[in-house]
Amino acid sequence: MAGEELLELKFRLYDGTDIGPNKYPPATTIGSLKEIIVARWPQGKENAPKTINDVKLINAGKILENNKTLAESRVPVGELPSGVITMLVHVRAPALDKNNENQQSDLPKKNRCSCSIL
């Protein structure tokens, strides 16, 4: 691994703030990057992920798989000399528990507008 180029990554959150940038070896798995994101999630932000399963990492329009490495995920290693690669972080909305689901079904349904552009 000597001489291996480190990738400089930052993770863009839904509100435009970033985690990072930090440097990672190409052998780093996507799952371990998600663990770092969960651990470094900014305090006070809404929709904080609880586990790595609540997080999706997106790079160049592709959702990255937990068991693959950065190199296997075809993250552009040499395309951006001394550049930072920005990955989008998508957090899955928390699932409703049974009690909340029943309470919401008791609420009257509001009229909703549906528009179509042809």
pLDDT class of 100 with cuts at 50, 70, 90: low
Confidence of residue 40 (pLDDT cuts 50, 70, 90): very high
Per-residue pLDDT at 114: 64
How would you classify residue 74: left for phi > 0, otherwise alpha for psi between -120 and 50, otherwise beta? left
Mean pLDDT for the stretch of residues 48-52: 89
Q: In this structure, what token pair is assigned to residue 76?
A: 């552009």
| CATH number for the domain running over 27-80 | 3.10.20.90
Question: Domain residues of the chain, as ranges?
Answer: 27-80
